[in-house]
Each structure stands twice: as structure tokens, then as C-alpha cells.
Amino acid sequence: MREIIFDTETTGLESKLDRVIEIGGIELINNFPTGRSLHLYICPGDRKVHPDALSVHGITDEFLRDKPSFADVAEQIVEFFDGAKWIAHNASFDIGFINAEFERVGLPPVPAEHVVDTLALARRKHPMGPNSLDALCRRYGIDNAHRTKHGALLDSELLAEVYIEMTGGRQAALGLVEIETSTTVIELDEHVVGLSRRPRSLPSRLSEIERQAHAALVARLGEKAVWNRYQQKSPDVRIRAS
């Protein structure tokens, strides 16, 4: 599954009047960063950065003056996001601005079913809050000390770490599956490691004396001992890398 964690910075709060001036995105495949990213500064035309917005992100009108217009980078944005989920914190704000910009250049809006709001996810997972990006970084032990101002790429990078932790993505590539012979297989996702499929058996490290001692212990525990279930199944545990 391909997802883009993204963020925008804008000239103000009104999507119909204000403009996107920065967009950053981080690509995830199966909840793992691929190393691909998008980062653009955008000239808002004659729309000035509101002082309140300036205090948040620090992007000045002077800095933006020689940057490309949204029309100049629209296709680049569409290409980067093509086929992926759009994931943002308080996504209605960012998508509202993106769709307003798309409308100005004659592009279709982002379908609602392609959007994931991490703020909504956080509120369901942590209903007592707080659930701001900074608060979630603290909750998950993610270092955000360098975040003195908002920035689209930096916030995307932090949100990607939060999203991976919040959705259990660091363990997503490891899955236990049962095959026909009741063999337990640990399978690594092909997007994480590019190894060929070569089953490897891990030999037991138990000596015969240790086996006998364990069997005697289980016998003393009685018929209800949990070990009896495992001895009856005698599963063959293997690791398969893909």
C-alpha cells in the first residue's frame, strides 16, 4: 500500500482566498519510508502572507517572490501523489487548500476516500488527548526539539514517524501465517528486504538431556500443563525471507 504523509503551509486560514506556499510529502509503502519525498515552495501571486501565519511558519513574501506558481508545479504534485492515500494531520484543512488550488488550475479535487486524517485517528486511539503533532511526538518518544517553526517537510517527517508508531507499522512487515503442515512461518515483506525466497530451517539447540529434563518437568505438572498442547502439535518453526 502506497501512502503520502504530507503537510502544507499557507498565507492564511481561508482556502478560497489564501494560497498554498509550501508543500512537503514523504512516501510510505506498507508503512515504511521509501526515501522519496516532495518539497516545494510556491509563490502565491499577489496574495500576501498574513502576519499570524508568518509567526507560525516564518515564510516571508520576499522569500516567495521568485518561487514557481502553483500552476507551474501542479502536475509535479499530482504525479507524486498519484495512486496513493493523502495522509495529513487535520487533513480537512490541507485538503481544502489543495482542492482550492486544483480548482484554480482546472484539476479535479482529491477524492474524500483517498484522504486519511491522522488527527481523527489519534482522537480515537487517545480520546483523552492532547493530540497535536507536538503532543503525539512526546507520547511516542519522537524528538521534535528542532521544530521551532512549522515547516511542511519537517512536519511531514515527524508525522510519518507518528503515523508509523500509531498504526503499529514497525511490526507490519512481520506476520505469522499458517501453512498446510501446521508450520509457523515468519515472513518479511518484499518492500523491506530484497532477499530471494529461500526457506531456512533453524536446528534445535536443545541437547537430549535437556529434552528429557523438560519432559520430566511437564509430566510433573500434570495433564493440564500448557506445554502438553505444544508437544502434541510439535510445530516446525522456520523463517522465510522474501
CB-based contacts of 186, cutoff 8 Å, min separation 6:
174, 175, 176, 238, 239, 240
Rounded CA gap, 7 and 153, in Å? 7
CA 103 to chain centre: 28
In whole angstroms, give the CA distance from residue 183 to residue 200.
13
Q: Is the dihedral of CA 55, 116, 134, 42 positive or negative?
A: negative
**Contact in structure between 32 and 2 (CB atoms under 8 Å):** no
Q: Which sequence positions are flagged as catalytic? A: 150
Start-to-end C-alpha separation, the chain: 17
